[in-house]
Structure 1
Amino acid sequence: MKQRFTHLLAILALVVGVYGVFNEVFATKPEPTAFEHVEVPERKVRVWLANQTIERGSNFSAKLVEAEMRLEDEADFALLDLPYSKGAVFRHRIRPGEMLTPDDLITPDNPDYVDTIISNGMSAFPLAMEQRHIVAAGIKAGDFIDILALTSLQQNMARRDEVESPRDANIDVKPLLNQVRVLAVRGKTYDDQDLIHYSQDEASTMITLVLEIPHKFISKMTLARRLSALEVYKSRNQMYLPEAQTKDILPGYQGIVELRGSRRS
């Protein structure tokens, strides 16, 4: 009896073993998990290209450039932010299609600004004057101005521009220079309407305009600055400021009467 029980256990163990082997061989294996490959998009940035030939010293304008999206790796040194309202000019000549870099532009706050943009054969002339004599709204680097000189034989208008005796002053107003390029402005300029709301001290604040003039005019400008009251206006295309004299303002004014012997002139 004991022997039969032993044989039964052996057969049962054999069946279990065969079943295990069969299940291992023929069992359905689970499908391997598929990992989806997600492609990370490459980052792009907006760069600026010249859409025409830009000459050295040209004032910056958004009309001279156009935007293009490029891969970040291709735009390591690209100019990303345009210098709006900063008086920026181009340091050198730019060909159409060239990508702009920060080194291509220079702004008035850069110490090398004036030397970079001044034209060949021209000189930089600093003209310091009171705010109230600048009759223009927000003159900035790159603008063109006209300069008027108020002179009198009776008083030095540069020292005091208030006329002591209008009928004896014999004042002349003459255009000194026209279409003068402003290279830089040291200080802030306002127009006449703005100055109404400012105190006398603010209206008398000194502003320095760095002008681009021919070298031969330096002596003329230096003398005019010492002897006349200067007024600055923004230039207008094809407009010339005429001369004026005291007699144009005061009716009946005869000017200076000079006696030479018995002859009156």
Structure 2
Amino acid sequence: MSSRFVFILAFIAIFFAAVSFLVNRPAPVITGQTPAPKEVAEPVSLWVAGETISPKQPVSSQLLVRKAFDAKQANMMGFTSNQSLDWHAGALFTASIKAGEVVRQNHIINPDAPDYIDWIITVGHVAYPLELPSESPMLVNLTVGDHIDIVTLTSPQRNLAEEEVSKAFRTLQVAPLLSYCKVLAVKAAGKNAQGQPTASAIVVELSRQQVAKLLVAKRVGDIEIFRSAGIVNAEQTQAETRDVLSGHLSVTELRGVARPASSPR
């Protein structure tokens, strides 16, 4: 056997041995590493209606409930993080919402919204502005949605509307003019010495007949505004001078008093 033939056989044997080694070599073992855990999205907290809500119903935390939603479900509703709602005193709901439905920000209108008065006012009524004097008790803690009463101070003998300070106390009369008028807006003026919020003007909801009565009252006498205690009897807000000054008699009453008989000379 020639050396050339032996060389070829050796080469072939070495080649097949190399191939067999590469094919049967065990896979390397990686130590010290653990598979990364799959990320689980946290639930998203949303506001839902705790009961059926009607339009123009005042917003209250008692009507809203926090509920956790799956992140995927919340994303489909347009939420990627926990929901927050912004509302102030006097805020109202603008739509009907069924119990369990998500309450969105556009379901709420706040008193500072430009169209709040147009949206809340009763059909057939008007928004009437009233300035408040600095000494008025109405300046303390008045908010949108409160109600006010208006009374008039008049005299059949004088036009009190033309006097800054009334000098005539005879025949003064106080009578109710308007009762339980809803406040639509409050213009803040700051805070008083006790730190309570005060107002310099308000906007109230009046019918056209109420506006006419108020215009006449402002021309013939003084008007006073105070927080309403509800619908009360008119007699509870009526008074005359004689109710304050004991023994006071008006001119009309003096004319009806009999003159004492003169003694004979």
Correspondence for 2:136? 133
TM-score normalised by the chain length of structure 2: 0.72
- Where structure 2 has 5 or more consecutive residues not aligned to the other structure, the ranges are 1-7, 259-265
Equivalent residue for 1:228, pick from 221, 238, 247: 221
| SS in structure 2 at match of 1:103 | helix
TM-score, normalising length from structure 1?
0.72
CA distance in 2, matches of 1:197, 1:60: 26
Name the SS of the counterpart of 1:46 in structure 2: strand
Q: What's 1:47 paired with?
A: 46
Write the letter of the residue equivalent to 1:41: V
Identity %: 27
| Corresponding position of 2:27 | 29
> What residue identity is the alignment partner of 1:242?
T
RMSD over aligned Cα atoms: 4.0
* Helix, strand or coil at the partner of 2:135: helix
- How far did 1:218 drift? 1.5
Task: Measure the CA separation in 1 of the matches of 2:195 and 2:17.
Answer: 104
Residue 23 of structure 1, CA deviation: 4.9
Unmatched 5+ residue regions in structure 1? 1-9
Q: Give the equivalent residue in structure 1 for 2:3.
A: none
AA aligned opposite 1:231: E
1:138-167 deviations in Å (ceiling 9; x for gaps): 21111112222222334444454533143x
Cα offsets for 1:155-182 (capped at 9, x unmatched): 444454533143x3x2222222222111
Larger RCO: 1 or 2 (CA < 8 Å, sep 6+): 1
1:212 deviates by 1.4
Q: Quick one: structure 1 residues 50 and 159, their matched pair in 2 at CA, closer, same or farther if it must change by over 3 Å?
A: farther
Change (3 A) 1:180 1:136: same
User: Residue in 2 aligned with 1:244?
Assistant: 239
Alignment of 1:30-109 (within 5 A): 30-31=28-29, 36-70=35-69, 71=71, 72-76=74-78, 80-109=83-112
**C-alpha deviation, 1:236, in angstroms:** 2.5
Matched, 1:163 2:144: no
Q: 1:116 Cα deviation (Å)? A: 0.2
Q: What residue number does 2:173 align with?
A: 172
The residue that corresponds to 2:211 in the other structure is: 218
Counterpart of 1:4 in structure 2 is none
- 1:109-124 pair list within 5 angstroms: 109-124=112-127
Offset of residue 128 of structure 1:
2.3
